[in-house]
Structure 1
Amino acid sequence: METAKQRIAIDMDEVVADTLGKLLHCYNRDYEDTVTIEDLHGKKLRQVAKCGQELYRYFDDPTFFRDLAVMPDSQDVIRELQTRYEIFIASAAMEVPASFAAKYEWLKEHFPFIPDTHIVFCGDKSIINADYLIDDHTYQFARFRGQGILYTASHNLEETRYPRVNNWRDVADMFLK
């Protein structure tokens, strides 16, 4: 009898998709500003942007999430993880319902090796039954029953409560060694 593989759930935005990079580009272009990733140490862009919460209007564009850059090494590492683990993409897409189609299309283009049955669009990720959750937001770990693994992003640099990975090479070191 074959032993079940452990499951790893992986967030999409700021973990496999560079959402902040595009958001920064759009904001700086439209507000003639020069905010950089370094300016965001421990903060979210909305905290330093001239427009504050209005920043999230970019997410109302159903195509915003369609052309995000892929995080370096994520495709290769996830493909290798699949040889040892059951991999799910778990996106809190309910926070931005207009994003469903673009996120799905983006995943099918950049991660075609992840089956549709392993893509979960949800809100509260505690619903995910996995051993690990790799995410950039600690609030998603609050009720998650497995182990949260914090993926480094500018807004979480001061967080110390969870094991941390800084990039996909760190993920490989944690799960594939």
Structure 2
Amino acid sequence: MTRKSIAIDMDNVIVDIETNWIAWYHNEFGIQVTKEAMHGIPEDQAFPDPLAARSLIYKPGFFRNAPLIPGAQEALLKLQENFDVFIVSAAMEFPNSLSEKYDWLAEHFPFIHWKNIVFCGDKRVINTDYLIDDHLKNLDFCQGTPILFTAGHNRGIDKYRRVNNWDEALELLAAE
């Protein structure tokens, strides 16, 4: 029997970009934004100055120093037992993100082989059995089964099967 494949997004799926962005905004501008402020709107719109918030994504270290999503490491190790796991990230838009995301993965997910890391500009080229992502723009073009990973900006959307955390993702995929 052929192993099924899973493409897993980075930002807001294994990397806690929301928490990171909030911390960077607070450090840079002295204004504290809550995660609840991000519910149901595009991420940068949760900040008092969306342009200033977006500028932080271009700063060196933004992607490299982001925290892990709880349970992600353990879940991906578990998934590798039964699936071909690929990390897929649209890392081309922001100049620093390509190398920073690669270094971040090497630190936090050393068990993911470099051949299973796909940095791209558009995820429509990905053809796996499953795609776990937080953005509809990626799931809408998924060639396999799309799975929506909960993030602030996608709350209230019920277009795809949703998982709120890695325990739920493991449970869903174990039932497949």
The answer, yes or no, to whether TM exceeds 0.5 is yes
Deviates more, 1:126-135 or 1:57-66: 57-66
Structure 2 letter corresponding to 1:82: Q
1:48-97 Cα shifts (integer Å, max 9, x gaps): 32221231211212321111111111111110100100000000111223
1:113-124 aligned within 5 A: 113-124=111-122
Distance in structure 2 (CA, Å) of the matches to 1:45 and 1:116: 29
Contact 1:46/1:55 (<8 A) preserved: yes
Structure 2 letter corresponding to 1:10: I
TM-score normalised to the size of structure 2?
A: 0.94
SS of aligned partner of 2:102: helix
May I ask how many residue pairs the two structures share in their alignment? 175
Distance in structure 2 (CA, Å) of the matches to 1:135 and 1:156: 10
Structure 2 letter corresponding to 1:97: P
User: Structure 1 residue runs of 4+, over 4 Å off?
Assistant: none
Which residue matches 1:85?
83
Give 2:53's match in structure 1, choosing from 55, 59, 62: 55
Which residue matches 2:10?
12
Gaps of 5+ in 2: none
Which residue matches 1:136?
134
The offset of 1:166, in angstroms, is: 0.1
Which residue matches 1:96?
94
Which residue matches 2:27?
29
The offset of 1:149, in angstroms, is: 0.3
Contact 1:24/1:36 (<8 A) preserved: yes
Percent identity for Structure 1 against Structure 2? 41
Gaps of 5+ in 1: none
The offset of 1:34, in angstroms, is: 2.3
Which residue matches 1:107?
105
SS of aligned partner of 2:63: helix
SS of aligned partner of 1:143: coil
Decide which structure has greater helix share: 1
